[in-house]
Copies of this chain bind each other. A is one copy, B any other.
């Protein structure tokens, strides 16, 4: 294990820790100190873990983001039903501490392997499988109020970026206007310690749902003509993409426009980008972009763009159910235009993918659809 290996080189690395690393490390050590303190006082060690259940999530009307409430659950060592999770929580804390001290990062799968072992003298495993470990990582995040990235655990990295921005990623300067056809692969850790913005002349960000649509825009040099930054998240954007959009929106004052499918999944992606997600409510603060605009696809586009009926896709039972759920989200419920949008999709009885615009012309979406809506300021909010 790593402990045997703490060499002078590692000590040097430790010295190179960022201010944020030191802060996170202090929280982790504080968590451990709690145990010894309790023990010395003859009390049962416990943790207060903020509750991540739906009932502890609320929509903050003034900030327009989903936030966690104040409820928490006590996790005790000397409680038969909680002892294992308690120890797992401490174990994850130890894993994060090692990562920070070594200046390394890993995936949630890596964390699982890092901590998995058979407890000495028993047949008991620390974690039976990864599903056992993942929620504990989230528990540590909320307990310490630290982003996963601050714990040196990264999420998947999907998503690319291209456009008029130059940034430094891990010491390398990257000019996103010279990234060829592939673009810059957005990493999952985009915190200011790792990534700094050097220069940005772009006027806005166009975020599209899919890689394939992104490529049409990149091939047509849309970002050059319209002076923007072009991103995609391969479906629901992962944390790295959301966090990067958040940073560019707030630090560089760039408006964010979202081009997503006209289906419940597209609506949901917009909802998460704008208000945050229920599951990651504790991170809305650093990821949600309440001012993000929805540029399309819209339910009206079938008629407006004179699309052929053959490019429509019939709504499934599940689509209808999801659409009705989404319509009731507090952040959509009071918005007449969104209600109309969702009702229109339901009465259409079909959904429309952004790619369906190809049936008009291969570059209709880049040359007419988006430019017209940008020029008119025609989007949903």
Contact = CB atoms under 8 A, between A and B. Distances in A.
Given A113-B356, A355-B109, A181 B189 contact: yes
Interface in A78-110: 98-99, 102, 104-107, 109-110
Given A114-B358, A362-B104, A178 B185 contact: no
Nearest to A124: B310
B110 A355 contact: yes
A357 B116 CA distance: 11
Chain A interface secondary structure, helix, strand, loop or mixed? mixed
Contacts of A157: 182, 211, 215
Nearest to A169: B180
Contacts of A2: 361-362
A107 B215 contact: yes
Interface residues of A, number: 63
Contacts of A216: 106, 110
B358 A106 contact: yes
A184 B186 contact: no
A105 B213 CA distance: 11
A160 interface: yes
B215 A117 contact: no
Given A109-B355, A173-B178, A180-B170, A362 B98 contact: yes
Contacts of A71: none
Contacts of A362: 2, 98-99, 102, 104, 106, 110, 114
Copies in the complex: 2
Given A181-B187, A181-B189, A184-B182, A212 B174 contact: no
Given A172-B180, A185-B185, A104 B212 contact: no
Interface string A1-14: 11001000000000
Contacts of A212: 106-107, 109-110
A160 B187 CA distance: 11
Contacts of A113: 311, 353, 355-359
Contacts of A121: none
A110 B358 contact: yes
A178 B173 CA distance: 7
A293 to B, nearest CB: 25
A-B residue pairs, 7 tightest by C-beta: A169-B180, A182-B187, A182-B185, A107-B212, A185-B185, A113-B358, A172-B178
19 contacts: A5-B361, A107-B212, A109-B353, A110-B216, A110-B362, A113-B353, A116-B310, A117-B359, A118-B309, A118-B310, A157-B182, A160-B185, A168-B180, A169-B182, A170-B180, A172-B178, A179-B184, A182-B184, A184-B184
